[in-house]
Amino acid sequence: MDIEYYEKSNGRCPVLEFIEKLSAKDRVLVTRKIKLLAKMGLDLRRPHMDTLRDDIRELRIRTHHGQHRILHFIFHRDTAVLLDGLTKKSGPVSDAAIDKSIEYMQDYLNTHK
């Protein structure tokens, strides 16, 4: 599976900005998990990946600093478009985070018709 990073119209990439703010150890773990997604594609399941709602999926990375999530969607069944990242303490991913990723997904789809 191909991996693509969503880029906003102003050139900023939310998921890369999230990854850059992580500790060096956590960056390595997140990068490994993204490579696993590239290798396994749609065959990747829980506990590594889960579907949230409205085609938004979460890549799940557990570290000593918390549970990181990379929100993404699948484009044309062969590309994972990484939209945003977050660190959560407990409970489900917030509706606000999912809604923001849906907004990013719609923007991506509008520019890749």
pTM for the complete prediction?
A: 0.94
Q: How confident is the model over 4-51, as pLDDT tens digits? A: 999 999 999 999 999 999 999 999 999 999 999 999 998 999 999 999
pLDDT tens digits along 52-86: 999 999 999 998 878 999 999 999 989 999 999 99
Domain CATH number, residue 43: 3.30.2310.20
Tell me how far CA of residue 82 lies from CA of 8, 64, 90, in angstroms: 12, 23, 22
Q: What share of the chain is helix, strand, coil (3-state, %, to 5)?
A: 40, 30, 30
Domain with 49, as residue range(s), is 2-111
| Number of structural domains in the chain | 1
**pLDDT at residue 26 in the model:** 95
- Kindly report the average pLDDT of the chain as a whole number: 94
